[in-house]
Structure 1
């Protein structure tokens, strides 16, 4: 159940398209929102409290992000950007060097899935999926769907360049990322002892080796 201050708030205005954003202000809002969403979940997190901590008005949050769900989606998008490598991201990776590209993407994705904040979000959304469909859609859209799609686009370019033979790029991308969501990820979700850095590095190397063995074009 949402807090009372949000229930009584007027309907937020639509986001102002084309208006330049203040990067520092956006950073403060996202950092404050990340803490409140992690502590209280999407439903119970208060936009008033987020605005107060960020030092902005509630209307400023709505003008930048449109809604509380839009703010949540922006947080997921920001974390996915780290895996993709920023604005240029996977798109800038050399299709002639797929092993190097997969090591880079896999390393960032593995680090992300081991973060306690990410694991906490998985736990909360899995536990309340039926009650928070918008949050689940945002998490999927800016997380798994976007990352799989961009990696699939890279694999398609590698296929066209002749370094990989990938008949179904999206399926191949899904298989690659799924290799990092096994035992260690399950242990993290259950709040058990996590794999150490050495085990994570071994998993990364083995995942790339297995993928390349299946898709690399013989020289």
Structure 2
């Protein structure tokens, strides 16, 4: 092969985007959407980067350029799901909003987010033996629950400063709030079990959690 021919072939070969090159946000969004659909439908091990690329309508090289590997793509899919379900605006300071109303809006958003088919499927993926022993649970925690709990912890600290709450350990209180919100309903959804005692509506469930939380921590 002549040097000119070799150069032409090399030029035709796709190259990964370098650190300084801007990446196409539209392609990134398409990849995330495709990954979420395929992880839900087939599980983590049942999906390849080739399949995600095909579903997103991009090259495999583009997928790797944006996300590096499948584990990172899964973590970003979790982050995107959490940011869509619980945007930063939910936790922004608004002293005029009554505390019960603020907690209820956060509780409703969180419960709706964790009960989606995507979230339930993601939870099952993380509980699988292959994934549970990998680095993915830590990546999931940092991308999703840790972000939400940190934002809520900061909100609690602002409300303590405003005189609305009395809490010695805000991180523990934040974990308690979201654990109560998950409750029995989330466990049943993960197990695929829909029978048993009368099911509360999501609104009833969230209202009961908020009431319990305020009984424990509202300033007397």
Structure 2 length as normaliser, TM-score? Answer: 0.82
In structure 2, the partner of 1:214 is 216
Residue 197 of structure 1: how far off its partner (Å): 8.8
Residue 47 of structure 1: how far off its partner (Å): 0.6
Does residue 102 (structure 1) correspond to residue 103 (structure 2)? The answer is: yes
- What per-residue deviation string (whole Å, max 9, x for no partner) do you get for residues 138-179 of structure 1? 221112222111111111111112221222111010010011
How many pairs does the alignment contain?
204
Secondary structure in 1 matching 2:44: helix
Deviates more, 1:45-54 or 1:187-196: 187-196
Runs of 4+ with deviation above 3 angstroms: 15-21, 129-132, 194-198
In structure 2, the partner of 1:127 is 128
Residue 74 of structure 1: how far off its partner (Å): 0.8
Residue 217 of structure 1: how far off its partner (Å): 1.8
Q: Which runs of 5+ in 1 are unaligned?
A: 1-11
CA distance in 2, matches of 1:130, 1:22: 30
Residue 45 of structure 1: how far off its partner (Å): 1.4
Structure-to-structure mapping, 1:9-24, within 5 angstroms: 16-17=18-19, 19-24=21-26
CA distance in 1, matches of 2:157, 2:130: 33
Structure 1 length as normaliser, TM-score? Answer: 0.82
CA distance in 1, matches of 2:178, 2:95: 18
Residue 84 of structure 1: how far off its partner (Å): 2.8
Structure-to-structure mapping, 1:1-219, within 5 angstroms: 16-17=18-19, 19-86=21-88, 88-90=89-91, 92-95=92-95, 97-128=98-129, 132-193=133-194, 199-218=201-220
Secondary structure in 1 matching 2:31: helix
Q: Which runs of 5+ in 2 are unaligned?
A: 1-14
What RMSD in Å do the two structures reach over aligned CA positions? 2.5
